[in-house]
Amino acid sequence: MAVTNRDMANAIRALSMDAVEAAKSGHVGLPLGMADASTVLFRKFLKFDASNPDWPDRDRFVLSAGHGSMLIYSLLHLTGYKSVSRDDIRNFRQLGSNTPGHPENFVTKGVETTTGPLGQGIATAVGMAMAERHLNARFGDDLVDHKTYVIAGDGCLMEGISQEAITLAGHMKLNRLIVLWDDNSVTIDGNIDVADSTDQCARFEAAGWVTRKVDGHDEKDIEAGLKWAQKQKQPVFLAVKTIIGYGAPKLAGTGKAHGGPYGADEVAGIRENIGWPHEPFEIPAPIEKAWKKVGERGKDTRKAWKERLMASPHKGEFNAAIAGRLPKNLSKAIIKHKKAVVEGGEKKATRQWSGAALEVLTHHVPEMVGGSADLTGSNNTKTAVTGPMTPQDWSGRYVHYGVREHGMAAAMNGMSLHGGIIPYSGTFLAFADYSRAAIRLGALMGARVIHVMTHDSIGLGEDGPTHQPVEQVASLRVMPNMLVFRPADGVETAECWEIAINRETGPSTMALTRQGLTPARKEHTEENLCEKGAYVLSPSGVKSREAAVLIATGSEVEIALAAQAELAKEKIHVRVVSMPCMELFAQQDEKYQRETLGGDLPKVAVEAGVRIGWDRWIGPKGGFVGMDSFGASAPYDDLYKHFGITAEHVANTVKGLI
């Protein structure tokens, strides 16, 4: 018997429905509907080698509609990825299996990015496609020449982030990005017309894409569409018309087909309708064999690629870029920069110091690709060596992301996951709220991205409370696997950048001031003092009569130092601890923590943000000088006085405690 596309697609259908029934939860509607199209994609177009999931020049496949995870697990399993065994399929959604409810790249090899929160996949894929073009410009067609395929659902397309992603992709003319829209006209609340009437093809065309409609259950039509897609000069949107829950006697084509186990009757009906008489989790050998061959399709291509790499003069550089290895001389360059900063003794905003640190870093690290959400001049993210990345010149290392904070954060995740790029980009800290869902996904995935967030407090001044982040530092500190840095001057900014750029296991946020700050660090040290998260910046001087401890971050360190000087005049001796990264300090042993914070001495924290997060360090009797409301519009020095974030208030708070 000749194994057909439909037979192979039915294997996906069978595994998906059997897994969802066994788990008693999950979403089988999408795998049933998109099985035919994804089978064509994997059989005839996708460049991959199942035995080498990390091959850098593979095509990327992103299931943006992540709830249909059984589609991807079926594909990985059938094509022979070691990461997904038949037992993993049986243990879909169980603790410790490689088949979690939504695809997680940090659990399952072959999954390119974690999806589930809708719209993230397509936006992440835009970053991957940009990374491909940039690395192609750097290393040439021989080493980098692949495509990015996305399956997206109606939910992905309704999310605002998808608009940011597709307009960015259209503007960048990312013609190697091919989106297959699972056009099934159904969402959870019912038919799509309950909530949406968008002409998606017209919308994508307005964003600079080319579009084509395809019958998602007609192998020939799908193949013709995908063939056509290979030759376009713009990103490609294929509207793949499908029936959700394809084959299910009662549920197919309805809102109820989206998720949940269908139950024994429906599953039996599907078996009947698609002609699949086999037992649950059983795949006939010919079909199994045909799928395995698909998984081996790319082997020779990969071998040829490997040979080209071995012969390439770029070999070392390419491998270092993909591995994300930093140059050995970087640490020295940072030390040299720190020394110059201390010697200069200038009063500058930390966003300016960040710009200065970036000049050093981007000069030494060619993998760094910067950008800003239309605030380049304010975020100080552009450096001398980072020219604009454009469709005409992909070698550029600076992305004008436009006013698209959310799409930008997701694109950075995609660049990082793709490999070969260490992305950073800027916006105002208040607008971290716009990109939070993507920032979080980066933290979950452990993506190495750096969010430059300037104008980090009421110090922003006249723009007022909409732009003043009083709670955003705290809101990022609560996020697992995120490091939030709030440096106090030029030296700390350089040190925090050094930690961030060396961090391979997750994202970092740099919270930076708009306003100029007096240098806190006046002596040069080779050692990175910020590495432990907090340190004694200015001892009390009179240890035996030390009365209290001031802890501050960022722009409030100079206020704490001024308060220390005020108090000293009254013979009240306090130390000042700078705490540029609370998360790193929390990782230190208790001894270092107690020593740094002066044991049981009374403590006052100073930060122009909300108190939550500080109680752990200052204790229930500790003092806090900061914000307990939104800010206001006025020159920043007026605001600091108005909200009582002053040396005088800090000094008085100390006096009230001792």
- Going by the annotation, the residues of the binding site are 27, 67, 116-118, 154-155, 184, 186, 258, 351, 378, 431, 455, 463, 467, 514
Least distance between a copy of itself and beta carbon 194 (Å) = 5
Question: Looking at beta carbons only, is 482 or 547 nearer to a copy of itself?
Answer: 482
Please list every residue from 201 through 230 that binds a copy of itself, using CB under 8 A.
202-203, 205-208
CB 181 within 8 A of CB 157: yes
Name the binding residues for substrate.
Answer: 27, 258, 351, 378, 455, 463, 467, 514
Q: Which string of x and - marks every residue 373-412 that binds a copy of itself (by CB under 8 A)?
A: -xxxxx---------x-----------xxxxxxxx-----
Question: Looking at beta carbons only, is 283 or 443 nearer to a copy of itself?
Answer: 443
Q: Quick one: how many helices (H) and strands (E) in the chain?
A: 26, 20
Using CB under 8 A, pick the residue from 21, 36, 88, 154 that binds a copy of itself. 154
- The Cα diameter of the chain in Å comes to 95
Question: Looking at beta carbons only, is 316 or 377 nearer to a copy of itself?
Answer: 377
Residue 57 is given by DSSP the state: T
The verdict on 116 binding a copy of itself (CB under 8 A) reads yes
The verdict on 580 binding a copy of itself (CB under 8 A) reads no
Please list every residue from 164 through 203 that binds a copy of itself, using CB under 8 A.
164, 167-168, 170-171, 187-190, 194-200, 202-203
The verdict on 93 binding a copy of itself (CB under 8 A) reads yes
Using CB under 8 A, pick the residue from 33, 56, 155, 623 that binds a copy of itself. 155
Least distance between a copy of itself and beta carbon 421 (Å) = 19
Integer CA distances (angstroms), 247 to 69, 89, 101, 253, in order: 19, 21, 23, 9
Please list every residue from 39 through 58 that binds a copy of itself, using CB under 8 A.
none
The verdict on 329 binding a copy of itself (CB under 8 A) reads no
Name the binding residues for thiamine diphosphate.
Answer: 67, 116-118, 155, 184, 258, 431
Question: Looking at beta carbons only, is 273 or 633 nearer to a copy of itself?
Answer: 633
Using CB under 8 A, pick the residue from 11, 14, 15, 23 that binds a copy of itself. 23
Residue 81: CB atoms within 10 A of its CB come to: 23
Least distance between a copy of itself and beta carbon 204 (Å) = 8
Dihedrals phi, psi of 140, to nearest 5 degrees: 90, 165
Using the rule CB under 8 A, give the single segment among 136-144, 155-163, 176-184, 527-535 that binds a copy of itself. Answer: 155-163
What is the SS3 assignment for 140? coil
C-alpha span between 349 and 153 (Å, rounded) = 44
Using the rule CB under 8 A, give the single segment among 346-354, 475-483, 501-509, 562-570 that binds a copy of itself. Answer: 475-483
Instruction: Report the residue count for the chain.
Output: 658
CB 514 within 8 A of CB 565: no
Name the binding residues for Mg(2+).
Answer: 154, 184, 186
Least distance between a copy of itself and beta carbon 387 (Å) = 13
Least distance between a copy of itself and beta carbon 209 (Å) = 11
- Would the CA dihedral through 300, 301, 302, 306 be positive or negative? positive
Using CB under 8 A, pick the residue from 102, 241, 337, 418 that binds a copy of itself. 102
Using CB under 8 A, pick the residue from 346, 471, 531, 566 that binds a copy of itself. 471
Please list every residue from 591 through 610 that binds a copy of itself, using CB under 8 A.
610
* Strand partners for 510: 452, 485
Least distance between a copy of itself and beta carbon 311 (Å) = 39
The verdict on 431 binding a copy of itself (CB under 8 A) reads yes
The verdict on 542 binding a copy of itself (CB under 8 A) reads no
What is the SS3 assignment for 453? strand
Least distance between a copy of itself and beta carbon 147 (Å) = 22
Residue 22: CB atoms within 10 A of its CB come to: 18
C-alpha span between 368 and 421 (Å, rounded) = 6
Q: Edge-to-edge strands of the sheet including 535-538?
A: 535-538, 573-578, 546-552, 603-606, 623-625
Tell me whether residue 317 is one of the annotated catalytic residues.
no
Please list every residue from 444 through 463 that binds a copy of itself, using CB under 8 A.
444, 461-463
The verdict on 513 binding a copy of itself (CB under 8 A) reads no
Residue 521 is given by DSSP the state: -
Dihedrals phi, psi of 7, to nearest 5 degrees: -60, -45
Using the rule CB under 8 A, give the single segment among 51-59, 321-329, 465-473, 513-521 that binds a copy of itself. Answer: 465-473
Two tokens at 50? 């199942």
Q: What angle do CA 270, 276, 280 make, to 5 degrees?
A: 85
Q: Which helix (H) or strand (E) holds 370?
A: strand 368-372
Using the rule CB under 8 A, give the single segment among 221-229, 334-342, 432-440, 529-537 that binds a copy of itself. Answer: 432-440
Strand segments (E) across 513-563: 516-517, 535-538, 546-552
What's the gap between Cα 427 and its chain centre? 15
Question: Looking at beta carbons only, is 100 or 490 nearer to a copy of itself?
Answer: 100
C-alpha span between 281 and 88 (Å, rounded) = 11
The verdict on 283 binding a copy of itself (CB under 8 A) reads no
In the block, residue with structure tokens 């788990």: 23
Q: How many residues sit in the footprint of a copy of itself (CB under 8 A)? A: 108
C-alpha span between 75 and 30 (Å, rounded) = 13
Least distance between a copy of itself and beta carbon 14 (Å) = 21
Alpha helix ranges (H) inside 345-404: 350-364, 376-379
Least distance between a copy of itself and beta carbon 332 (Å) = 34
Residue 220: CB atoms within 10 A of its CB come to: 10
The verdict on 250 binding a copy of itself (CB under 8 A) reads no
Two tokens at 553? 């971050």
CB 260 within 8 A of CB 24: no
CB 182 within 8 A of CB 245: no
C-alpha span between 635 and 656 (Å, rounded) = 29
Using the rule CB under 8 A, give the single segment among 48-56, 116-124, 125-133, 544-552 that binds a copy of itself. Answer: 116-124
The verdict on 162 binding a copy of itself (CB under 8 A) reads yes
Please list every residue from 612 through 651 that binds a copy of itself, using CB under 8 A.
612-613, 615-616, 619-620, 627-630, 632-635, 638-639, 642
Two tokens at 238? 């294929």
Indicate which residue of 164, 219, 367, 405 is catalytic.
405
Q: Which string of x and - marks every residue 335-374 that binds a copy of itself (by CB under 8 A)?
A: -------------------------------------x-x
CA neighbor of 457 nearest in space, from 554, 377, 551 = 554
Least distance between a copy of itself and beta carbon 540 (Å) = 22
Residue 275: CB atoms within 10 A of its CB come to: 10
Q: What angle do CA 493, 563, 639 make, to 5 degrees?
A: 75
Least distance between a copy of itself and beta carbon 545 (Å) = 24
CB 653 within 8 A of CB 605: no
C-alpha span between 555 and 615 (Å, rounded) = 20
Catalytic residues: 405
